[in-house]
Each structure stands twice: as C-alpha cells, then as structure tokens.
Amino acid sequence: MQLTTMLKMVGLTEDELIGGFITSKKGYYYTVLNRKDRNGKRKPLWTSTGLAATEENEAEAESKCLAGRI
C-alpha cells in the first residue's frame, strides 16, 4: 500500500507525519521516531521491533516503522 493511500485512510497529511527510520542495534532492528517535546526540541523514541537485523526482516521492520509514524 502506498504512503499517500495510508495517509488518506487515517486522515493525515504528509506534514503531520512523524519522522522516523529503522536502524540495527545489537543484532535487532529498532524504529526511531522523532517527536518534539513542549519546548520544540526533538526527542527520539527508540522502539524494538523484535526482529533480527537480517535482509529478510528489513521489509517487515520498515512496515512497523511506517505504522508507528502514522
């Protein structure tokens, strides 16, 4: 499913989408979501996907990251 289709389903625009990415750490994929606190400073939120950092799991990790951003 394309990003624009998903955003329409949940009623968000791309400007309202939270920034995020996946990264590997200690052999697992993590999603890192960049949120802002009350003072406007960026606060990264690290969440484990529970997936081993292998090429087979990369697409699923990206999907979890996208779900967390919306």
Please write the tens of the pLDDT for every residue from 47-56. 888 889 988 8
CB 2, CB 16: distance < 8 Å: no
Write down the pLDDT at residue 7.
Answer: 66
Q: Would you state the torsion angle of the CA atoms of residues 9, 4, 25, 52, taken in this order, to the nearest 10 degrees?
A: 70
pLDDT digits (tens, 9 = 90+) for 4-38: 776 666 666 666 667 788 888 999 999 888 877 77
Closest of 61, 35, 57 to residue 48, by C-alpha: 61
* The model scores a pTM over 0.85: no
Write down the pLDDT at residue 3.
Answer: 65
